[in-house]
Amino acid sequence: MMLQADDCQLVLVDYQERLMPVIAGGQEVAARGLFLAKMARLLNIPTWGTEQNPLKLGPNMADIRALSRQTFPKMHFNASESDLLDALRPPVKPAGNARSLPKHLQKPKAPEPGRQTLVLAGCEAHVCLLQTALGLLEHEFDVWVVTDACGSRRERDRDAAFDRLAGNGVELVTSEMVAFEWLGDCEHPQFREALQLIK
């Protein structure tokens, strides 16, 4: 099973300016997150951001914010408890003329095939990233976590999060795995531009 660009959305969890300096390997984690956001922009993959308690922890890094379609503030550690969920899977509205039938008799429109695969990266791996991934699994998304674009203050916490995610059926990948699977082959129209980002 490989990632298909036209079925993916990217979720960047809490790359907040005040948080990143205390993350183990924080500069590399931030660089990998930014790389993913640039690849997603190049390949027209929807990108969303989240910010944990932004009044206390500040906003996401400016580059991450600029490459996200929308950034969702949250107080829950699990971002699927925020408005993010509606962006990932907009609610289905009833079909038909609202005047012709009472609401309880209207049939919902057939759901349009949406992007069911979520590629997640962010901080802290053992708190917000972990809880968001598990929450999104409960909402029946396919969840992939980009390990080199995730971090925690302590490496042991990060590694324990990866073990738990894998045990729950989350696919663990690296940012270059994601990039090359999104491209599919070297004849992709954006391959040369993507290669510049990869190098």
- Residue 108 predicted with pLDDT over 80: no
Dihedral of CA 176/179/184/185: which sign? negative
Question: 102 vs 182, which has greater pLDDT?
Answer: 182
| pTM higher than the cut 0.85 | yes
pLDDT of residue 90: 74
pLDDT of residue 103: 61
Rounded Cα–Cα distance for residues 183 and 47 (Å): 17
pLDDT of residue 101: 60
**φ, ψ for residue 102, nearest 5 deg:** -60, 150
Domain positions in the chain are: 5-88+111-139+148-198
Concatenate the DSSP letters of all residues of 3-16 into one string: --GGGEEEEEE--B
pLDDT of residue 94: 58
pLDDT of residue 113: 60
- What is the DSSP pairing of strand 171-173 with strand 117-122? unpaired
- Residue 48 predicted with pLDDT over 90: yes
145's tokens? 């976590």
Domain 5-88+111-139+148-198 has CATH 3.40.50.850: yes
pLDDT of residue 1: 86
Cα 139 from chain centroid (whole Å): 14
For residues 96-124, average pLDDT: 71
pLDDT in tens, 65-101: 999 999 999 999 999 999 999 999 876 665 555 555 6
pLDDT in tens, 133-176: 999 999 999 999 999 999 999 999 999 999 999 999 999 999 99
- Residue 42 predicted with pLDDT over 60: yes
